[in-house]
Amino acid sequence: MAFHEFLPCNAAERPATLAELVSRAKAEGATCNLVLPANQYQIFQVERPAVQDDEVADALVWKLKELIDYPAEDAISDIFPYPDDATRGRGKQVNIVCSRKVLLKELVKLVEGSGLMLGSIDVTELALRNMARMFTVESQSLGFLYMRDGFGMMVLVKGDVMYLSRKFDIQQKALQDPARQDSVVQQLSLEIQRSVDYFESQMGQVPPRRIVLLGPDITLPLAQLVDPLLAVSVDDANWDTVLEEQDSESLNRLVQTLVAVGGAYREEVAS
């Protein structure tokens, strides 16, 4: 990658911080793939209406009234495919993602105010799907587990297709506390196994042979702690294709920025 950086900041500092990053990278006027934070949208699986492909998104707008707890006119929505071989006789499904207009307007203003040009808006699940592609083998299924302090997500993919995603709320301090670590690892392992079991029993898929993991802290051997508790092997992700050097500083930066990196790989997946 030509430029890969992370600067922590609070909400009020975002415009100045992003503008600084753009300036450092000499990226004024570059196209930006924006990835929404996982707490700023919702995803639902719904029955696909019997209309043309380019009419599905519009046809599902009415469905939002039944799914969200705010007025549908205050939402912006879009769709992405749900795998046909995972419906188990329920008929064709589709994923619908929606977010509040006011939140999207703020993010668009942030991007454009930094000197970037907004090319697309994506979601965390699909950004992680993009990264998981680096570890998939042909049509075999794979689990990709991404952990940051206070947030984690696992996606189960097969080839280029995401089948299932699951969010986790894990505090890094609890993982590093000897008095609480065992309990937290047990709970995380249980949630992972439930996801794998659902993937197999409810979606009719062959369970993955392995789960690759990044985070929340490269000094914490989380993969080694979780692996003995699961029926699937868990390995630390190898980033030879992403990072020229895999020193601790580079890997810790990747933990902080992986979703953004996945967003940058959007066009490669689409092609």
Residues 129-149: tens digit of each pLDDT: 999 988 888 788 999 999 988
Q: Which residue has the higher pLDDT, 195 or 151?
A: 195
Per-residue model confidence (pLDDT) at position 46: 93
Residue 140 domain-assigned (yes or no): yes
Q: What is the pLDDT of residues 14-37, one digit of tens each?
A: 999 999 999 998 999 999 999 998
Mean pLDDT for the stretch of residues 220-232? 93
Mean pLDDT for the stretch of residues 237-266? 79
Residue 180 has pLDDT above 60, yes or no: yes
Residue 201 domain-assigned (yes or no): yes
Residue 233 domain-assigned (yes or no): yes
Residue 224 has pLDDT above 70, yes or no: yes
The maximal CA–CA distance of the chain, rounded, in angstroms, is: 56
Sheet containing 233-236, strands listed edge to edge, beginning at the edge strand earlier in sequence = 161-168, 151-158, 141-148, 210-214, 233-236
Q: Which residue has the higher pLDDT, 262 or 253?
A: 262
Per-residue model confidence (pLDDT) at position 142: 95
Q: CATH number of the domain that 243 lies in? A: 3.30.420.40
Mean pLDDT for the stretch of residues 110-118? 94
How far is it, in rounded angstroms, from Cα 206 to Cα 208? 7
Residue 187 domain-assigned (yes or no): yes
Q: Which residue has the higher pLDDT, 164 or 216?
A: 164
Total domains present in the chain? 1
Residue 119 domain-assigned (yes or no): no
pLDDT class for 244, splitting at 50, 70, 90?
low
User: Mind giving me the DSSP string for 89-149?
Assistant: TS--EEEEEEEEHHHHHHHHHHHHHTT-EEEEEEEHHHHHHHHHGGG--TT-EEEEEEEET
Mean pLDDT (the chain) is: 89
Domain hosting residue 214, numbered range: 125-270
Residue 80 domain-assigned (yes or no): no
Residue 247 has pLDDT above 80, yes or no: no
Per-residue model confidence (pLDDT) at position 1: 46
Residue 76 has pLDDT above 90, yes or no: yes
Per-residue model confidence (pLDDT) at position 271: 38
Per-residue model confidence (pLDDT) at position 18: 94
Beta bridge partners of 157: 142, 162
Residue 70 domain-assigned (yes or no): no
Residue 267 has pLDDT above 70, yes or no: no
pLDDT class for 179, splitting at 50, 70, 90?
very high
Residue 89 domain-assigned (yes or no): no
Percentage of the chain lying above the pLDDT 90 cut? 63
